[in-house]
Structure 1
Amino acid sequence: MSLPSITFTGFVYRAHHPRWAYDPESGLGASRHGGRFNRPGTAALYTALRMETAWLEAQQGFPFKAQPMTMCGYEVHCDGVVDLTSNAAIDALGIDPGDLACPWEDMADRGETPPTWQLADRLIAGGAAGVIIPSFADHAGPYDRNLVFWKWGKDAPYKVCVVDDHGRLPKDDRSWK
């Protein structure tokens, strides 16, 4: 089955723990712990289509007690992105929209496999580089969307590069030792 994919060109954003500011393109945290759209051991880079959404995602559960974050923008030109905010794509793939909002962490903690992990496995096996999904963060609205990458690098067709024109990000983690 051919995936209903698009080429995403533009900018995305990520607010992450300052501890990892020296490596904002790694996706290692998601690989270690898993996420809504990746099981542990599967690398993923979670980003948002708006800065406000990136902030909501990073402050999960604490929207009014802001914690320090490093906000990064990324320039993207990525083929193979599946837009699961599109009813046509959801229908073409036979996805139950309710599965996207599953309580993935609770399921994983109980030893169950969340349907979003199964979906991610299927899309990755089909050649998808990433997926656009609604944000499920507290206080997220209809314009809050995320783009999760499973394939990314410095060059097209999977270009996802942090914007740091002035070299402001640290080069290593020595300040955290």
Structure 2
Amino acid sequence: MTLPRSKLVGAVYRAHHPRWAFDPVSGEGAARHGGRFNPLGTPALYTALRPETAWLEAQQGFAFKAQPLTLCSYDVDCADLLDLTDPATLSALAVAPADLACAWEDLADRGQVPPTWTLARRLIAQGAAGVIVPSFAHRAQSEDRNVVFWRWGAAPPHQVRVVDDFQRLPRDDSSWR
């Protein structure tokens, strides 16, 4: 089956713990802990199409007490994405919106494989570089969308480069020792 692929050219955003500001394109934390759209052991870079969405995503565990974050913008020129916010794409992939919204952490904690992990494995095997998905963060609205990258680098066709023109991000983690 030919996947209904999209290309994204523009900006995405990511808010993360300042401890990891020296490595803003790493997907290793996601690989170590798993995520909604990446099984354990699969690196992923979770980003958002709006800075507000990145903030919502990063603050999920601290809804009433915002914690410090590093908000980064990324220049993207990435092909081979699948837009899972598009009903036609979901239909072509035989994916139900409820599968995307599954309680993935609860399922994984109970030793079950979340449907989003099965989907991610299938799409990665079929050459997808990532997916555009709804945000499931508390208080997310319909315009809140994320882009999860499974394949990315410094140049097209899967470019995701952090914007740091003035070299403000730390170069290593020495300030955390």
- Give TM-score scaled by structure 1 length: 0.99
Shift of 1:43: 0.5
8 Å contact from structure 1 (residues 61, 138) kept in 2: no
Cα deviations across residues 120-153 of structure 1 (Å, max 9, x unaligned)? 0010001000000000000000000000000000
Counterpart CA distance in 2 for 1:10 and 1:97 is: 26
Alignment of 1:55-134 (within 5 A): 55-134=55-134
Give, in angstroms, the shift of residue 61 of structure 1.
3.2
Deviation at 1:66, TM superposition (A): 0.5
AA of the residue aligned to 1:72:
C
Distance, in Å, in 1 between the alignment partners of 2:54 and 2:169 is 18
Q: Distance in 1 between matches of 2:39 and 2:11?
A: 25
The code of the aligned residue for 1:108 comes to A
Is the 8 Å Cα contact of residues 4 and 82 (structure 1) preserved in structure 2?
Answer: yes
Separation of aligned partners in 2, 1:35 and 1:61:
14
How far residue 32 of structure 1 moved from its aligned partner, in angstroms, is: 0.3
Q: Which runs of 4+ in 1 moved over 3 A?
A: none
Partner of 1:5: 5
Instruction: Compute the displacement of 1:167 (Å).
Output: 0.2
Equivalenced residues, count: 177
Q: State the 1:63 CA deviation.
A: 2.5
The separation in 1 between residues aligned to 2:133 and 2:44, in whole angstroms, is 14
Say yes or no: does 1:32 pair with 2:32. Answer: yes
Q: Secondary structure at the match of 2:168?
A: coil
One-letter identity of the residue aligned with 1:83: D
Please give the TM-score of this superposition, normalised by the length of structure 2: 0.99
Structure 2 unmatched runs, 5+? none
Secondary structure of the equivalent of 2:148? strand
What percent of counterpart residues are identical?
66
